[in-house]
Chains A and B, each alone.
Chain A
């Protein structure tokens, strides 16, 4: 397998992890060829997770925005976000490799919940690292993980968000690499993780393509997805990169585009090396990773998956931002118009459409609704969105 997407990617990790990464790569290649493993994965996706998820024509939102809007309903997937596609895939891969212990990082807690769920299902030991700040703002997901049998470790170092959680999970992995699989939750990290996560998330794009053809007899004009590390985006984009469909990745503009107040890595960053990969990065002039902010814990990350950096430089995907307040508008509007409460992450894609209504006028647009928003009610309440 290729270690790089153009000039992005690679394996910038301590030497101690190199053997584990090459074993993972070999196992992944075998896993993909193994018919039984594949059947097992497809079976879990269908019977347990609830795939295919609907591609829902959002009539009210369409009327409101002046375009034909379809929502890819990953919020309806078991556990409430697209993350389960990847965790079911990787847990089967871990089993295939004979690993018994699973570790994971989580930001919003959705990946942690999805990991704990898959680990419970396959009876594996599971430890999830989560930044202290995220444990506070995504508290319901902490309870869910514990209920599912995972140990949740609070990380109170550094930014105390997703970035610190990844640091801590990497440290655990370095120590326990022989027994443990690191179940990375986004299309980031050292090779082969970005390719593995994309493979397991590409089911979103494959279904979407078939569903839209059935409903509209053509491909959409545009596909919009939010980008944190980039897993839901690469999952849906993967089916369309070779077509002429406009692809838009929406990053968290946070409070403003001043460094430290957003997490718009591709929009505002420059190439750097973090968590095993060379990719766009928010950093200062000395190469120190910058502080970032987003109202949404799942987007609050200074890095991004290397394939997105490649797609940006190639000009194939357009990356743009949606600010906190615009995402909150999207959150509120989708709830009241369609009866669907979106995750704050996904609300960035919705907010982007609303902000650029004119641009999409008359077009067929697919939004990847990556998750549901129950977990976000606390934050949303604190932002005054629930006030009448």
Chain B
């Protein structure tokens, strides 16, 4: 079974529509949700998500996001993750942030590579929130081993070089790395970045345990056809 996760920018386009989108994801049986906490300088995101994040930041701050996150948790029954950038956590106070989000399943930090992850993981561990690690086509095999060992939840495989919203593609080198990451690993290997439609999902699912859809979900929300879009994914 190939899992489908949806990425949503917290409170975009507004709090109500965001929570409606969460309800739609619950209704259509999406397997997990990543809630993006906006950051002023989202270097791992393309223009669509950056624009959405900056738009929300004009009106809201992390305390507002935390409230909506709790509501989303009450609506959505499967796994829920927060995706953000280091300073949204560090600048707020890592301990305080981890405590206030203790009801989520995991934390995904876009600008936190494995080599720097310990200082965050140590604190989130206390609240049983898993720090999600990334593997890329460039990651060495020995590093993949280490990343697998320290993971207690899925590994985010960044299948495409680039930022959210880029083109989806996989070369043989990438496929080899995905294969290696999956081997003997107790959790899922999820592909992210560049996955746009059910065709991409089918391709990705030949090799991985699931996918995350970000940019296209945010776009669908903007175009008021989110429910249709989500409905089309499971086909």
Interface flag for B22 (CB, 8 Å): no
A287 contact from B62, B63, B136, Cβ within 8 A: B62
The 0/1 profile, CB within 8 Å of B marked 1, for residues 272-310 of chain A is 111110100101111111000000000000000000000
19 contacts between A and B (CB under 8 A): A12-B86, A14-B43, A14-B158, A15-B113, A15-B114, A16-B134, A19-B139, A19-B140, A171-B46, A174-B161, A175-B161, A175-B166, A273-B87, A275-B41, A275-B43, A278-B90, A284-B61, A286-B88, A288-B88
| B149-166 interface (Cβ within 8 A of A) | 158, 161-163, 166
A171 contact from B112, B158, B163, Cβ within 8 A: B163
Interface flag for A377 (CB, 8 Å): no
CA distance A272 to B93 in the complex (A): 10
CA distance A10 to B90 in the complex (A): 14
Q: How far is the CB of B175 from chain A (nearest CB, A)?
A: 17
The 0/1 profile, CB within 8 Å of A marked 1, for residues 111-139 of chain B is 11111100000000000000000111011
Residues of A within 8 A of B39 (CB): 287-288
Chain A: CB-nearest residue to B38: A288
Q: How far is the CB of B157 from chain A (nearest CB, A)?
A: 10
Tell me if B's interface is mostly helix, strand, loop or mixed: loop
Q: How far is the CB of B190 from chain A (nearest CB, A)?
A: 14
A14 touches B110 (CB 8 A): yes
Chain A: CB-nearest residue to B89: A287
Interface flag for B198 (CB, 8 Å): no
CA distance A276 to B139 in the complex (A): 18
B161 contact from A16, A157, A163, Cβ within 8 A: A16
Given A158-B41, A272-B90: A288 touches B138 (CB 8 Å cut-off): no
| A154-200 interface (Cβ within 8 A of B) | 157-158, 163, 167, 170-171, 174-178
A288 touches B61 (CB 8 A): yes
B136 touches A16 (CB 8 A): yes
Interface flag for B141 (CB, 8 Å): no
Tell me if A's interface is mostly helix, strand, loop or mixed: mixed
CA distance A158 to B91 in the complex (A): 19
Report which residue of B40, B92, B136, B163 has the largest number of chain A beta carbons within 10 angstroms of its beta carbon: B40
Give the A-binding residues of B (Cβ under 8 A). Answer: 39-44, 46-47, 50-51, 54, 57, 61-63, 85-92, 110-116, 134-136, 138-140, 158, 161-163, 166
Report which residue of B51, B87, B110, B161 has the largest number of chain A beta carbons within 10 angstroms of its beta carbon: B87
A158 touches B161 (CB 8 A): no
Given A11-B116, A15-B135, A273-B86: A174 touches B163 (CB 8 Å cut-off): yes
Residues of A within 8 A of B115 (CB): 11, 18
Give the B-binding residues of A (Cβ under 8 A). Answer: 10-20, 157-158, 163, 167, 170-171, 174-178, 271-276, 278, 281, 283-289
Residues of B within 8 A of A273 (CB): 85-87, 90-91, 111
A158 contact from B40, B116, B135, Cβ within 8 A: B40
Q: How far is the CB of B100 from chain A (nearest CB, A)?
A: 12
A158 touches B162 (CB 8 A): no
A18 touches B161 (CB 8 A): no
A283 contact from B42, B54, B87, B89, Cβ within 8 A: B87
Given A157-B50, A272-B90, A273-B111: A18 touches B41 (CB 8 Å cut-off): no
B158 touches A16 (CB 8 A): yes
Chain A: CB-nearest residue to B157: A15
Report which residue of A18, A158, A284 has the largest number of chain B beta carbons within 10 angstroms of its beta carbon: A18
Q: How far is the CB of A190 from chain B (nearest CB, A)?
A: 9
CA distance A174 to B166 in the complex (A): 11
A274 touches B139 (CB 8 A): no
A18 touches B113 (CB 8 A): yes
A283 touches B136 (CB 8 A): no
